[in-house]
């Protein structure tokens, strides 16, 4: 099977990496390590390797390294380092999710407190710069995602107390979303063999659900657990999810719902998921919106409820082992694992 390359435009790359398009063009003129492909019309096309390289360079610059010294390392050596830095854990040495289930409030790393300080001062630019600096100093993609989501919980608490404005919270959320999406797409399968051997998971939110940072973290974890992931994102119509699942027959469908939706709206969507999507794949539902739903409600009886990340890890592991079973058999086995 011929591998199909995926390309980014210069605008796509700039928004993910957090560098202006003019800076990207200047780097290309000055340093041989940056050499995007071109269309017949001369427009730049960036590959996954280009994205890794640019983002790893911003990581090194965040640590105080000079751009000329970085470029002198050469494209090949930089890509090797970038691949090591961005690589998610393999399913044989899975990233455990139990540490995400602790009920007590998590202590943010000290480096994140500068972001909160900037937000309270209504300084959006400083908060985003601090977030990018924290990313540059992070050990790996998943640890950054974990701490960033803990940060947003803190931001929400400060917003409820009137200490942070909606405007700066939205600006930080938008930048963080681009960063997490970048980390997600940096870890796409690169060969036909990887694509064929990795089970498919589909991630989406309920209709009218606009909160998706938690779902992005789930998508990253699914990749550490050996899945390739189609990320459909926020506000996914059920009809489109049904159509996609009927064609692709994924191993799992993950649907996120937050407390911003009404109970009636959530139950209506759950009923559709149960009736229309579960014939094609087990559907796992998670998110803070579930706190308002009775687990015995008939509209969710056909769905798998994940209230903790360790639940989802168990489901993902068991689903991989039962791909030869029918969808109904898989749902039954997965539900039995959850109630143990």
Q: What is the pLDDT of residues 179-214, one digit of tens each?
A: 888 778 776 655 556 667 789 999 999 999 999 999
- Within 8 A by CB and 6+ apart from 103, the residues are none
Residues in the chain where the model's pLDDT stays below 70: 1-6, 62-63, 86-108, 136-140, 187-195, 260, 340
Measured CA to CA in angstroms, residue 233 lies from 206, 213, 230 at distances of 9, 9, 9
Q: In this predicted structure, what is the pLDDT of residue 327?
A: 93
Residue of 22, 24, 72 whose CA lies nearest to 50: 24
Measured distance CA(8)–CA(327) in Å, rounded: 36
Measured in degrees and rounded to the nearest 5, phi and psi for residue 48 equal -60, -35
Distance between CA atoms of residues 21 and 46, nearest Å: 13
Burial label, 261 (beta-carbon count in 10 A; 0-12, 13-18, 19+): buried
pLDDT per position as a tens digit, 48-63? 788 888 878 877 876 6
Domains of the chain: 10-86 (1.10.1660.10), 96-186 (1.10.1240.10), 192-338 (3.40.50.280)
pLDDT digits (tens, 9 = 90+) for 97-112: 555 555 555 666 777 7
């Amino acid at each position: 099977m011929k591998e199909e390359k995926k390309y980014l435009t210069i605008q796509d790359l700039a928004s993910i990496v957090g560098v202006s398009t003019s800076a990207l063009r200047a780097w290309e003129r000055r340093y041989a390590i940056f050499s995007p492909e071109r269309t017949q019309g001369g427009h730049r096309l960036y590959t996954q390797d280009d994205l890794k390289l640019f983002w790893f360079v911003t990581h090194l610059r965040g640590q105080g390294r000079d751009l000329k010294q970085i470029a002198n390392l050469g494209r090949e050596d930089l890509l090797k380092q970038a691949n090591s830095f961005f690589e998610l854990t393999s399913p044989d040495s899975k990233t455990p999710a139990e540490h995400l289930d602790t009920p007590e409030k998590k202590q943010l790393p000290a480096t994140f407190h500068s972001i909160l300080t900037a937000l309270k001062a209504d300084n959006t630019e400083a908060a985003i710069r601090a977030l990018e600096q924290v990313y540059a100093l992070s050990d790996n993609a998943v640890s950054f995602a974990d701490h960033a989501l803990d940060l947003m919980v803190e931001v929400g608490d400060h917003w409820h107390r009137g200490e942070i404005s909606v405007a700066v919270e939205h600006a930080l959320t938008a930048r963080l979303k681009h960063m997490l999406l970048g980390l997600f797409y940096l870890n796409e399968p690169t060969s036909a063999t990887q694509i064929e051997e990795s089970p498919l998971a589909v991630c989406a939110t309920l209709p009218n659900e606009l909160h998706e940072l938690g779902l992005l973290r789930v998508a990253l974890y699914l990749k550490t657990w050996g899945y390739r992931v189609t990320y459909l994102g926020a506000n996914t119509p059920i009809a489109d999810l049904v159509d996609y699942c009927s064609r692709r027959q994924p191993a799992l469908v993950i649907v996120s719902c937050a407390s911003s939706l009404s109970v009636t709206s959530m139950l209506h969507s759950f009923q559709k998921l149960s009736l229309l999507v579960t014939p094609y794949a087990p559907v796992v539902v998670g998110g803070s919106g579930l706190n308002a739903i009775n687990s015995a409600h008939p509209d969710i009886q056909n769905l798998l409820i994940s209230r903790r990340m360790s639940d989802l890890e168990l489901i993902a592991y068991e689903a991989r082992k039962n791909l030869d079973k029918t969808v109904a058999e898989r749902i039954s086995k997965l539900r039995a694992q959850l109630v143990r």
